[in-house]
């Protein structure tokens, strides 16, 4: 990773505002002079697109392994090269998403963790949190829902995200919890930008 480059994961349940926050955070960081690359998982590659479009029929362990394979490929071909180039990378979804979505699909958390054992640890994984009621309202407005969105529920997702947060905390994964209740998209992005600045300071101090 080049000096000053950070790897930021944006995590949280469906509809919490991950893609909105990723875009607004990138705008803020760029305005502050940082070079930023925004990406998401599943990745924008043939394998990532296969996961996205095949998720209805690709189930359980097969989906977990396909998602993990996509993550390693994403890391090798996009995330690490961008970091080496000095860019800060923001990924909309990363490991915490798998620790939740693959559990909804029937896997145990330890097995999912094993499939992700060799991924790059982010500089900071930001978990966006909201209430189940608000998430349900936002999802009701969507015309298309994925199989896992239909099988799970906002409350189950929130419970599993909480579990995943604790699981990652016990493994010293750098994390922050961002409460989005009654917080505008701009303020969420401002809080994330502050967390990124603190992470940059910590990383610089550790050199
Ligand atoms: N902080 C916020 N306050 C109110 N609405 C929000 C906020 N963040 C996102 N939204 C809205 O919620 C919906 C879901 O946001 P999105 O970024 O697509 O979520 P995700 O990527 O987590 O599924 C969108 O309609 C978006 O405009
Ligand atoms: C990132 C990720 C995605 N997926 C699968 C399930 C999701 O329904 C599907 C698409 O991800 P999703 O984030 O819902 O895509 P979109 O950007 O279209 O909202 O990928 C997993 O099962 N585990 C993961 O860790």
Evaluate whether 109 touches 99 at the Cβ level (below 8 Å).
Answer: yes
pLDDT of residue 110: 98
Which atom of ligand 1 lies nearest, measured to the CA of 188?
A: 1
Task: Supply the pLDDT for residue 3.
Answer: 81
Query: What distance, in Å, lies between the first and last C-alpha atoms of the chain?
Result: 12
The Cα–Cα gap between 22 and 107 comes to 28
For residue 206, what pLDDT is reported? 82
Ligand 1 center from residue 39 Cα (angstroms): 17
Which ligand is the nearest neighbour of the Cα of 12? 1
Which residue spans within 77-202 are E strands per DSSP? 88-92, 124-129, 175-179
Give the pairing type, strands 124-129 and 7-11: parallel
Q: Is the ipTM here above 0.85? A: yes
Domain ranges of the chain: 7-205
pLDDT at 13: 97
Number of C-beta neighbours around residue 139 at 10 A: 17
| pLDDT for residue 114 | 98
pLDDT at 4: 84
Which residues line ligand 1 at a C-beta cut-off of 6 Å?
Answer: 12, 14-20, 138, 180, 183-185, 188
User: Checking phi first, is residue 17 left (phi over 0); if not, alpha (psi -120 to 50) or beta?
Assistant: left
The pLDDT of residue 148 is 92
pLDDT at position 168: 98
Position 2 scores a pLDDT of: 80
Ligand 2 centroid to residue 28 C-alpha, Å: 26
Q: Which two three-digit tokens encode residue 168?
A: 């990652």
Report yes or no: 99 and 113 within 8 Å, Cβ to Cβ. yes
Regarding the beta carbon of 98 and ligand 2, being less than 6 Å apart is answered yes
**Closest-CA residue to 13 (of 163, 116, 119):** 163
Which of 97, 109, 164 has most ligand 2 atoms within 8 Å of CB, for mutation? 97
Successive 10-residue mean pLDDT values, the chain, 207 residues: 91 97 98 97 97 93 98 98 98 98 97 98 98 96 90 95 98 97 98 98 86
What topology does CATH give the domain 7-205?
Rossmann fold (3.40.50)
d(CA 97, CA 92): 10
What is residue 189's predicted lDDT score, i.e. its pLDDT? 98
Say if CB 92 and CB 122 are below 8 A apart: no
Q: Which two tokens stand for residue 52?
A: 């996205």
């Amino acid at each position: 990773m080049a000096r000053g480059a950070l790897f930021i994961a944006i995590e949280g349940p469906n509809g919490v505002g991950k893609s909105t926050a990723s875009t607004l955070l990138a705008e803020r960081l760029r305005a502050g002079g940082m070079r930023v690359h925004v990406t998401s998982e599943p990745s924008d590659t043939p394998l990532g697109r296969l996961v996205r479009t095949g998720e209805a029929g690709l189930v359980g362990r097969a989906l977990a392994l396909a998602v993990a394979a996509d993550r390693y490929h994403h890391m090798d071909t996009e995330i690490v090269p961008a970091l080496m180039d000095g860019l800060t990378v923001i990924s909309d979804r990363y490991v915490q998403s798998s620790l939740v979505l693959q559990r909804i699909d029937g896997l145990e958390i330890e097995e999912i963790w094993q499939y992700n054992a060799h991924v790059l640890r982010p500089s900071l994984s930001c978990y966006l949190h909201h209430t189940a009621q608000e998430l349900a309202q936002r999802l009701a407005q969507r015309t298309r829902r994925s199989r896992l969105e239909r099988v799970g529920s906002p409350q189950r997702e929130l419970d599993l995200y909480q579990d995943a947060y604790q699981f990652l905390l016990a493994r010293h994964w750098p994390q922050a919890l961002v409460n989005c209740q009654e917080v505008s998209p701009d303020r969420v992005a401002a809080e994330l930008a502050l967390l990124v600045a603190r992470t940059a300071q910590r990383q610089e101090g550790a050199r």
